[in-house]
Structure 1
Amino acid sequence: MILELATIDVNEHAEAEFEAIVAAARPLFARANGFRSFELRRSVEIPRRYVLLIGWATLEDHTVAFRQSGDCAEWRRLVAPVLARPPVVDHAETVPIA
């Protein structure tokens, strides 16, 4: 599984609106091919900063299939008004530790 880690800074006083947008947008991700999990975390030190964690079966499920979909375009349309800057997106894979 690939974990997408999207670090998202929102505009001042837009935290509640952003959280509502993420909750409403979850189905856009959930119906995507390869979708595995979805979780939102909020920074304790910087309350306007969030990390959206989305599990995908493969990297391409996110970077190709989802990003080229209408659902991704809708996500971007919904979230754009509250973003302080473009999200920083990384992908991680599990490292086996004995």
Structure 2
Amino acid sequence: MILEAAMLQVKQGKEKEYEEAFHTASKIISSMKGYISHELQRCMEVEGKYLLLVKWEKLEDHTIGFRQSIEYQEWKKQLHHFYDPFPVVEHFETINLSCE
């Protein structure tokens, strides 16, 4: 399992509109092959700041399967105009640490 993490900064005054658009766009990402789950968190200290976490079965499900799809073009159309600056997206994998 891969965790995609993106810190999102939404343009001032657009937060409510963004949250509504994200709710609609969520149907796009959740229909993709390899998608497991996602959540959007709103920062309590910084207005307009969000954390997006998406779980994928494997890295390529996001970087190729989603990012190179027609569905991604619609995702971009619905959401990317809200961001300033454009977010950095990073991927993480679980480290299995044993306490034996």
TM-score w.r.t. the length of structure 2 is 0.92
Shift of 1:81: 2.4
Alignment partner of 1:19 is 2:19: yes
Matches of residues 52-67 of structure 1 in structure 2 within 5 Å? 52-67=52-67
- Report what 1:92 is aligned to: 92
**1:28 maps onto 2:14 in alignment:** no
Q: Percent sequence identity over matched residues? A: 38
Unpaired stretches in structure 1, ≥5 consecutive residues: none
> Letter of the aligned partner of 2:74 in structure 1?
E
Aligned to 1:4: 4
Unaligned segments of structure 2, at least 5 residues = none
Three-state SS of the structure 1 residue aligned to 2:40 is strand
Indicate the residue corresponding to 2:37 in structure 1: 37
Bigger Rg, which one: 2
- Tell me the distance in 2 between the aligned counterparts of 1:60 and 1:35: 11
TM-score by length of 1: 0.94
Deviations along 1:51-97, one digit per CA (max 9) or x if unpaired, are 11111000000001100011111111111222111111000111123
Any runs of at least 4 consecutive aligned residues in structure 1 with deviations exceeding 6 A, and if so which?
A: none
Trace 1:65-84 onto structure 2 (pairs within 5 A).
Answer: 65-84=65-84
